[in-house]
């Protein structure tokens, strides 16, 4: 293992125990992510990419999920951590952009409420400070009129804007690792490349490592080289 390894996965196996039998979604994969680098994970639909990301953050209910192997983050095995420890890691050191922004954004809270809640929770700042950081973050991800947009509910934003809001939320706590699960799949091509540029820029600014999950080889091919 290299010294600048941030995430190192060995022999990860995730199975679901269902009524129909045992489904092996991830079968002994390994990968390594270095500090400040972007790692692309490419594979056909259903091959276990999302389950891998969800396993890293231990977001799968167990049972039915059963996770085996080793997931070292900064040298510590996430799979051995207590629930309290893993909660500290989520959103703080590792955050995730989910494949479906509509299922991961809360429809009954405004964009600003969701992002500022996350900031308050992880950074222990006042409500007002969290709100101004939220507006700043929405500006950074190039959402126009961020003060107004922050007060809107997710369904009022376009798909591209929702994805940007997700990115803003994921990056608002300056994570050391960002798991981006198909961050641009739902978007049209011009917006896709804007979001790729945006993520790379933010990566430089806050020195985040990225795991970029996609089934789109074109996206990986077009990713700015390091």
Ligand X SMILES: Nc1ncnc2c1ncn2[C@@H]1O[C@H](COP(=O)(O)OP(=O)(O)OP(=O)(O)O)[C@@H](O)[C@H]1O
List of residues contacting ligand X (CB under 6 A): 16, 18, 23, 25, 43, 45-51, 64, 99, 215
In the complex, what is the shortest distance from the CB of residue 27 to ligand X, in angstroms, rounded to a whole number? 10
Closer by beta carbon to ligand X, 17 or else 76: 17
In the complex, what is the shortest distance from the CB of residue 124 to ligand X, in angstroms, rounded to a whole number? 33
Cβ atoms of 93 and 46 closer than 8 Å? no
Looking at residues 30 to 69 of the shown chain, list those that interact with Mg ion (rule: CB under 5 A): 49-50
Alpha-carbon distance values, 211 to 3, 72, 176, 208 (Å): 18, 15, 11, 10
Question: What mask, x for binding Mg ion by CB under 5 A, covers residues 93 to 132?
Answer: ------x---------------------------------
Listed residue (62, 173, 58, 54) closest to 120, CA to CA: 173
Closer by beta carbon to ligand X, 44 or else 84: 44
Closer by beta carbon to Mg ion, 49 or else 203: 49
In the complex, what is the shortest distance from the CB of residue 179 to Mg ion, in angstroms, rounded to a whole number? 11
Alpha-carbon distance values, 84 to 22, 74, 75, 89, 171 (Å): 29, 17, 18, 9, 21
The interface partner of residue 134, options being ligand X, Mg ion, none and the CB cut-off 5 to 8 Å by kind, is none
In the complex, what is the shortest distance from the CB of residue 209 to ligand X, in angstroms, rounded to a whole number? 20
Cβ atoms of 25 and 15 closer than 8 Å? yes
Listed residue (198, 204, 101, 179) closest to 141, CA to CA: 198
Using the Cα atoms of residue 151, residue 154, residue 158 and residue 163 in order, give the sign of their dihedral: positive
Contacts with Mg ion by CB under 5 A lie at: 49-50, 99
């Amino acid at each position: 293992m290299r010294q600048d390894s941030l995430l190192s996965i060995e022999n990860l196996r995730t199975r679901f125990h269902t009524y129909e039998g045992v489904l092996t979604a991830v079968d002994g994969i390994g990968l390594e992510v270095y500090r400040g680098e972007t790692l692309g994970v490419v594979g056909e639909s259903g091959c276990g990419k999302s389950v891998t990301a969800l396993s890293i953050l231990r977001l799968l209910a167990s049972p039915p999920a059963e996770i085996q192997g080793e997931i070292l983050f900064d040298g510590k095995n996430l799979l051995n951590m207590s629930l309290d420890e893993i909660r500290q890691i989520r959103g703080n050191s590792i955050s995730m952009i989910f494949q479906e922004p509509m299922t991961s954004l809360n429809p009954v809270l405004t964009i600003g409420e969701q992002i500022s809640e996350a900031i308050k929770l992880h950074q222990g700042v006042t409500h007002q400070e969290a709100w101004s950081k939220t507006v700043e973050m929405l500006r950074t991800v190039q959402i126009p009129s961020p003060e107004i947009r922050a007060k809107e509910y997710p369904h009022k934003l376009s798909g591209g804007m929702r994805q940007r809001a997700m990115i803003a939320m994921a990056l608002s706590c300056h994570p050391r690792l960002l798991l981006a699960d198909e961050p641009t799949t739902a978007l049209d091509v011009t917006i896709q490349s804007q979001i790729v540029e945006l993520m790379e820029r933010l990566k430089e600014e806050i020195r985040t490592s990225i795991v970029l999950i996609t089934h789109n080889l074109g996206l990986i091919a077009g990713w700015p080289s390091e």
